[in-house]
Structure 1
Amino acid sequence: MKLIKSVVSSFRAKLLITFFILSVLPLILIGMISYSKTYNIISENSYSLSQLQTERVSREFDDVIQEINRFAEIGKMDSTLQFLIDKENTADEAKIILNMIEHYRESFQYSEYVMNIRIIGLDGKAISEDHGVHQLDNQTYKNLLTTTFNNQQRSPVIKSTYKNSTPALSLTSTISNGESKEVIGIMNIIIKASGFKDILYDTSTQLSGTFQVESENGDTLFISPEFASVTEITDRNMIAEKSSGYFSEGSTFVVFYTSELTGWKFIRYTPLSDITKDTTEIKSLIILTVGTSIIFIIFLYFIITSKLILPLRVLQYKMNQASSGDFTVKINNHSSDEIAQLGQNFNSMIYKIKTLLDKSVNEQKQLKIAELKTMQAQINPHFLYNTLETIIWMAEAKNTPKVIEITKALSHFFRISLSKGKDLILLKDEIEHIRNYLVIQKMRYQDILDVTFHLNEDILKYEIIKLTLQPLVENAIYHGIKNKRGKGFVRIKGDFTPEGYICIDVIDNGIGMSEEKLEDIRLQLSRGIPFDKDKGGFGMVNVHNRIQLHYGTPFGLKINSWYGSGTRVSLIIPVVDGDINEEDLFSR
């Protein structure tokens, strides 16, 4: 969730969302609307074209039927009427009728589709091309009469039949007396079914789908391609109730048209994908166009945003470096736009901050030096006051050798204390400084004080702030051993810590401290402020502050004490090589 929030909250992400809403989204919307409009227009055109193609097939059938139906004119000729009315002596009329049929065959376009023509009277007398004048059997005669006279509109009746085992169509129409309009016979024309099949075949090779021709009764007359499976229409009323139209049945498109001449229904079944294949191509073209445009827009977006975001990211990176304390950073501008001006202002700001920081550091350094010197000035009089008291005490006792010894020790003590104003001395000189101090202290506490040194000689070549160990030894004597009955001892140990620092322990077996006072001293060290100079802790706080002001953390003092057993004060400093000239340090 945080990752998503971080990504969305970035400037580039906001630009991308805005860019998407303002350019990509409208482009997709326009593509969808264009496809929808194009789909509707092309589909309507495809549906209309499919219906026109079906109507064209119907008209081709009608043209054939109309052309063949012109043979019915023979039934209106006088010779034909005479043949049907006269019961005998019709040989001449029969000959004329056959000659006329032959003449019509030579004159009409589709006469080759005609297999046989028969003219039949109501008494069963008939004349045909294949049998001449003859008498029909009763069953054939009754079937023809029933079919013809059941047709109330007296229009030609077309039915499927066979001629010499060949599929054919039977076109039957009535012949009427010219004056009385009385039906005196019928004319039956047998038409080859192959002619219509040829029309359907030629059409189906040019158009996709399956063509089906149904009679008025719903019987299938023709189907192309032959033996093709036809989709079963669930709702036949859609075709039965209308003369023409189109609809979709699942994945199949159905278009139908009813011939006004024959009443036949011409039905075309086409896969819907074939009808809408143009829309599929348009859809692919729109998707390709929109997709290419989106890719180009995204590419353009990354180019634009890279030019815009990269300088901002550089500025952000430099600001992060500056916030981490690196004030040497600088932005190199290669342009003169608003972002470049931000970079220039950033450089100016960093320069001013660095200048102020350097000034502040120098001021703090000077303040630290002043504090160190102030602390040193506080320590020296403190010890001098106690030493002079000892000398006065020995002088009053007229102990001249001891006075000389202690004065000599005091002289060496102050040579190291002064050190020509230097704050850092070698650790071995600080130890020598303590030894001189202890010579003076033993003069006062010779019966109760025992001092030992346990030092790693390798630590003596490193530097230490002067006058840091003496206050600790002084505390051990004045606040530990002095308040203890019996002889006391002070142990001074020095060695390296596991971390590689230098640790010097000042250990005494004095009276120690209570838990409350120990916590009080530790609190003073942590805060760097002595609560009450008269109750102890002032010297240690000064030493601790001097070490931390010079070296920083984690260096300084650590204290442990056990009431009635003694105290251990540990001074920890880093390892710093000494470069002090001892001859110069102790020269007069």
Structure 2
Amino acid sequence: MIEEKTSERLDLCRNGAIFFRSRRAAEKRGRGMNRFRNMMRSIFAKLVFAFMIVLIPLYALSLNMNDSASRSVKDQITASLYSRVQFHMDSLETDFDRIIRLEQEFVNDADLTKLSNSAAIMEDFDKTIVINRLRSRLGLLKTSNPYILSVGISIASIDRTLSTDNIIDPIDPGAFRELSQPTNRYVSPFLTYSDRLFISVPYPEIGRREDQQFVIAVEIDKAEIRRVLSRLSDNAEGGVVLFDSRLRWQVSDRTQGEGDIDAAELARGLGLLAVSEREASGGSGYRTVTVDGTPYIVAFEQSSSLDATLLTYLPEKVVLGSLRKYRDGYWLLSIVSAIVVVLFSYLIYRLIHRPLRTMVVAFRKVEHGNLDAPIVSRNRDEFSYLYSQYNSMIGRLKVLIHEVIEHQYRVRISELKQLQLQINPHFLYNSFFIIYRMAKVHETENVMRFAKYLGRYYQYITHNSQQEVPLTEELEFARTYVEIQKYRYAGHVEIDFPDPPPWVGRIPVPRLILQPLLENCYEHGLTDPEKDGIIAVSFQVSEHGGVLTIGVEDNGDSLEDAELPRLRQALDAELEPPESTGLFNVHRRLRIKFGNESGVRLERSQLGGLKAEVVLPLSSKPQDEKDRVEEE
């Protein structure tokens, strides 16, 4: 029966808490929507809307002019960059094509053919003459083009390399192996070795490498290419780079470490790198690429005969630097518009906003409870009429508030008396049955003691003249209730009920705040008749002596883990079942008396059951006791 009632009360508490939470959320959303509507309907919002109607076309026109000029200048500078890139790439193609053709003609040189084929049968004098003639022709080949750094011929039959550096060295096997690789000189002519750039012609080109007689290698002067590229780049923040489609080599107008842009990153962003040996992407144009958050204008030209790309880049901020006059005009227009807005706003402030602000300040004082703030006006306009009506309103509010406060005080006193009389009638029935059983077996002494306890009990709860009593009287009444329950449970419940500190006992507290907590332990916590029960009462004063906490706990096992949060939720929502329980009764009375900082707290007891704590604020305590606590 008790479990069914508890379950019904918990369901009612849960449903009530859900209802009140949903209602508070709906009220909060409604208040937010009302604030937004009021703001949109205010004079301030209408003034702002009027300003926007006037200023938006001006700003839109200036922005359109600025954007149009930016696009025009950007397109012109980009087209100029691209045309310069095309010109330089055409020049490079012409120069390197001439180098390739001169190399190809050198293959058919008679002295080179004779030395590579007949060196074994030639006299040393004849070899020297032939070698000198070859070196002379190599010098002519070197001076024929500024991009040639040096020219060398590695001849296998004499195991020597002839070069324009006036050096005749033994053949370097690594260089001979790398530079003798066959290439399509009219599609991808460049080879790299030791970070040097070469255009080489092996002979013969078909067959095994072991059968190759000589290799003509022209080393390209990267410094000269860099000087030419530097003429293409006329801005310190821009750059120019020449690289092949697989990024095996690259030449930039900057020395290593000068620039902030990686050519590989730009090339990948533009899709200029070949994926495989046979795939070499071709194309040209200009785009805008963002690197590390900075936009760059990039113009590029790819050469199908050199398998290389010439790329120049320039920060967009440099390109658009010539638009300062448009920006100055835009900012001048913005300043003039701001001045107009300030002057017009000040005029509106003088005429309308300041009187409105006076009323808003007055209403905020009323909102915070200050009804002694009348508005004094010297003008004779519409606002003076509003001020007069406001003063009349706060005068009527004072009278109404006084009447409401008096009515609420009377209602609160009546509610306190009504809550005190919500006593469980089952206790009275059980007491009479206990007297009947003891009288039936002629236990006269027990009947006398029990009747005395019962008389004190009902004398205390029916005495309504005092709303507060000293804590010692409330504790004495609680002990009387415990003595009555001892007859009912016949030694199956152990009670730990210590005395509080002496100065605490003199503190005035509301009546009937401990007995309902003890009753809750007996009725709902100790439901197992075969298990010995334990009830413990404790007293705790906060560190600064401002709060007294009285705890009542039991070792019952009927409290489930899911039930405790529901009870706390019902207490926090200040909900109460139709048949009011003692916990809710005490909690409600303490909240009415002391406010939200007091009340009943629920938690799991270390004994295993429920622990209910009564939290009471202490307004003061005797000075001698304060001194004693400090000394301790």
Q: Compute the TM-score of the two structures, normalised by the length of structure 1.
A: 0.43
Q: Whose relative contact order is higher, 1 or 2, with alpha carbons under 8 Å and at least 6 apart?
A: 2
Q: Compute the TM-score of the two structures, normalised by the length of structure 2.
A: 0.41
The higher radius of gyration belongs to 1
